[in-house]
């Protein structure tokens, strides 16, 4: 059985390298026929997770971004070696309009169909984002709706 197309990019936790991830991601999904809407929604979520990994990761550990394309979905995994954090398992509200922080997780949750954060304190954080492809046939499983 052929494997799904997969992209892996490792960067140091430095904002100057975020464009490397964006460029590789855009080329990869374009090569595999992902629609603009699916590409942009997941890229926005990846950008938010990547910004968190850069800000909260450790200088000693790289950030690894993995993107996988399946027939009915596209997913991304952003892993860092930072201190970690956790989010509630429910839908996170947006902060007050003039708040300077706290929009990343709520934005990710609104852009994708799957948003999971796994954290091992002192060992890093893994953010997994997934989006059913809007151009694909309906998946074999029921889609979970948000409140």
**What pLDDT does residue 129 have?**
96
Number of domain units in the chain = 1
In a domain, 143, yes or no: no
In a domain, 46, yes or no: yes
CATH at 75: 3.30.565.10
In a domain, 138, yes or no: no
* CA 139 – CA 113 distance, rounded (Å): 12
Residue position matching structure tokens 């029921």: 142
Nearest Cα to Cα of residue 146 among 102, 89, 96: 89
Q: Express each pLDDT in 28-83 by its tens digit.
A: 999 999 999 999 999 999 999 999 899 887 767 899 999 999 999 999 999 998 77
State which H helix or E strand residue 106 sits in. Answer: helix 104-111
Q: Express each pLDDT in 85-103 by its tens digit.
A: 656 566 677 767 777 766 7
In a domain, 41, yes or no: yes
**What pLDDT does residue 58 have?**
73
**What pLDDT does residue 81 have?**
86
In a domain, 142, yes or no: no
**What pLDDT does residue 143 have?**
46
State which H helix or E strand residue 124 sits in. Answer: strand 124-132
In a domain, 34, yes or no: yes
- Boundaries of domain holding 96: 6-132
**What pLDDT does residue 88 have?**
59
Q: Across residues 10-18, what is the average pLDDT? A: 94
Q: Across residues 123-142, what is the average pLDDT? A: 78
In a domain, 18, yes or no: yes
In a domain, 141, yes or no: no
Find the length of the chain.
147
């Amino acid at each position: 059985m052929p494997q799904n197309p997969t992209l892996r990019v490792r960067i140091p936790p430095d904002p100057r390298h975020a464009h490397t991830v964006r460029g590789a991601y855009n080329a990869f999904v374009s090569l595999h026929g992902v629609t603009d809407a699916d590409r942009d929604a997941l890229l926005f979520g990846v950008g938010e997770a990547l910004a968190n990994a850069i800000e909260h990761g450790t200088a000693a550990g790289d950030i690894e971004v993995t993107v996988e394309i399946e027939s009915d979905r596209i997913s991304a995994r952003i892993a860092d070696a930072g201190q970690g954090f956790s989010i509630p398992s429910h839908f996170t509200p947006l902060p007050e309009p003039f708040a300077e922080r706290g929009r990343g997780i709520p934005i990710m949750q609104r852009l994708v169909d799957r948003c999971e954060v796994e954290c091992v304190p002192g060992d890093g954080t893994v953010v997994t984002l997934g989006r059913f492809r809007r151009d694909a046939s309906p998946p074999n499983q029921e889609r979970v709706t948000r409140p």
